[in-house]
Amino acid sequence: AQSVTQPDIHITVSEGASLELRCNYSYGATPYLFWYVQSPGQGLQLLLKYFSGDTLVQGIKGFEAEFKRSQSSFNLRKPSVHWSDAAEYFCAVVPGNTPLVFGKGTRLSVIA
C-alpha cells in the first residue's frame, strides 16, 4: 500500500545537538515532498518542500532535507537544535494527482 512512514514517534535531543528526522515513502514515481512543523495547539507551518532539481533543500529556521531516490527517503536535518524547535514534525507527500498524504509525525523534545 502507498504510505509515508516516520519511524520515530518521539525523539529527545539536547539543545545544541544535531537532529535528523526520518521519512520514507512508498510510491512508484517521485512524489512532491514536504516537511511541516506543528507547535502544540497550533496549525501546520511549512518548513521546506521538494518538487525537483537539487536534492538538498534548504528551509526556514535552519532546517534542510535531502531527497534520496534510491532509499525513497526525505530526511529532515538541523545542525544545532534550539529549545524552540520542540514540536511535532510531519513529513507529507503528494504522490500524483492526489492530495497530501501525511506521516504520523515525530514529536521532538529538546532538553537543556
- Which residues are near another protein by CB under 8 A? 4, 32, 34, 36, 41-46, 49, 90, 92, 94, 97-105
Nearer to another protein, 79 or 96 (CB): 96
Angle of CA points 24, 106, 67, to nearest 5°: 30
Residues 6+ apart with CB under 8 A from 96: 27, 29, 31
**Minimum distance, C-beta of residue 44 to another protein, in the bound complex (Å):** 4
Pairing status of strand 106-111 against strand 101-102: unpaired
Q: Which amino acid is at 93?
A: V
**Minimum distance, C-beta of residue 95 to another protein, in the bound complex (Å):** 11
Pairing status of strand 106-111 against strand 10-14: parallel
Nearer to another protein, 1 or 112 (CB): 1
**Minimum distance, C-beta of residue 93 to another protein, in the bound complex (Å):** 12
**Minimum distance, C-beta of residue 82 to another protein, in the bound complex (Å):** 22
Nearer to another protein, 9 or 80 (CB): 9
Q: Which amino acid is at 87?
A: A
